[in-house]
Amino acid sequence: MPRGRKRPPSAAHGGSESPTRDAEANDEHWRRIFSMDSDLEAFSRNPAHGSFAPLAFQPSAMTNCVNQRFLSY
């Protein structure tokens, strides 16, 4: 190798074999993490994009209290 030029890092010297391979592995890592998000949509309060399914009614504490008072008469 000519003088003054640095060698690219190799796995033996603490670097990686290929910067491109590292970038691809990093992209795959993030793709896997964000793809898990879709599995949680069933438990989300917000429906998936484009979904027109009605949301389930969830009574609040105040509604429950009023109903109990009404039923006690």
**Which residues are within 8 A (CB) of 17 and not within 5 positions of it... i.e. 6 or more apart?**
10, 11
Residue 27 lies in a domain: yes
> What confidence tens digit (pLDDT) does each residue in 1-48 have?
556 666 655 555 555 556 667 777 777 777 766 665 555 555 566 655
Residue 49 lies in a domain: no
Residue 28 lies in a domain: yes
Residue 29 lies in a domain: yes
Supply the range of the domain harboring residue 20.
Answer: 14-42
Residue 19 lies in a domain: yes
Residue 34 lies in a domain: yes
Q: Say which DSSP state 6 is in.
A: P
Q: What's the total number of domains in the chain?
A: 1
Residue 51 lies in a domain: no
Q: Write the single-letter amino acid at 56.
A: A
> What confidence tens digit (pLDDT) does each residue in 44-67 have?
666 555 555 555 555 555 555 555
| Dihedral-angle region of residue 66 (phi above 0 means left; psi in -120 to 50 means alpha; beta otherwise) | alpha
Residue 25 lies in a domain: yes
